[in-house]
Amino acid sequence: MLSYQHEYHAGNFADVHKHLCLRVLFEALCRKDKPFCYIDCHAGAGRYDLGGPEARKTAEYTGGIGPLWECRTQPASGTVAAYLDAVARLNPDGELRYYPGSPALAQQWLRPQDRALLLELHPQAQQRLKQNVGEDSRISVHTRDCYEGLTALVPPPIRRGLVLLDPSYEVKQEYRQIAALAVCAHKRWANAIYAIWYPLLPAARQRALLAALEQSGMPRILLTELTVADGTDQSGMYGSGMAIVNAPWQIDNTLAALLPAVANRLAPGRGATELRWLVEASAGQATG
C-alpha cells in the first residue's frame, strides 16, 4: 500500500479545480430528474482538518480554498457559490477549519433518487470515511482497490452516472494504468461520464495518460487545466488537469466562463487556464 496522505494537500489549488469541475458535472446530471450513480474510485477520508498538523505543515490550502473563502461574501457564479456553500456547511462558525473531500461534496449534492459508491482501500482512511458519511441510504462504502472495484461495480443498475478517478500517481506507470481502467469501464458502462484528474508536473508525465485517452476510441474528451505558475522553475506540481470523457453538452462553455476568474484569484497575475477538446464532439452527440 502506497504512502500518499491527502491530509497534507487538502484544499490546495488542485482540489479547488477538481471540485469545481465535479460541481459542474453534478449540475449537468441534475438537469434531468432521472437518477444517476456517482462512483468515487479514490474516496479518501471524506473530510480534512485544515488545523491539523499535516495541513499546517504544508499550508497548501492557503493557495487554494483559502483565497476563495476570503471572498465568499462577494458575488460569484452559481457554481462557485454552491461549492463555497458546501465548504461553509462544514464550518458553521465562519472560520475555515474543515475541508470536504469529494465524497462529502457528493453527499451534499446528491438528490434523494441518486446513489454513490465510494471506494477506499486504506483502512484508516476508510474508517474515517464511514464516520464522516454516517448513515446515508444513498451511499455505500467499499473496501476495494479502484482497478478491481470499478470493473466489478459497473454497470450499476442506474443507467446514468459519473466516475471520478483521481489517484495520487505515486507510481509513474499509473498514468497509463488509469487510462486503461477508464477504457475497460467505458466498455461496460459506455454512457457514464468519466472525470480523470491528473497533476501538471515539470516531467510532463500526463502526456502518457492523454495520449492513451486520445487513442482509446472513447468519445467527447474535454481537457481543462488550471495553472498557478508557468512550470519552468518548479520542482513540484504547478497545475491541475481534468480529462472529461463523455463531456456533457456545453460544459466547455460553462468551464470557460468559470475558471479564469478562479485562477486569477488563486494566483494573481500568474494563474491561467486552458480548455481544449482532446477528442472532438461529433455532431448530434450529447451526454447527461
Give the active site residues.
166
Name the residue among 170, 269, 277, 167 with its Cα closest to residue 223: 277
Q: In the structure grid, which three cell numbers stand for residue 279, read together?
A: 477528442
Inter-residue contact 188 to 18 (CB < 8 Å): no
Inter-residue contact 98 to 9 (CB < 8 Å): no
> Max alpha carbon distance in the chain (Å)?
51
Q: In the structure grid, which three cell numbers stand for residue 160, read together?
A: 446514468
Q: Return the amino acid letter for 55.
A: A
CA distance 277 to 222: 5
Inter-residue contact 197 to 241 (CB < 8 Å): yes
Name the residue among 280, 213, 278, 259 with its Cα closest to residue 24: 259
CA distance 212 to 23: 26
Specify the length of the chain in residues: 288
CA distance 43 to 101: 8
CA distance 22 to 17: 9
Q: Return the amino acid letter for 253.
A: N
Helix (H) or strand (E) holding 11: none
Q: In the structure grid, which three cell numbers stand for residue 122, read together?
A: 486504506
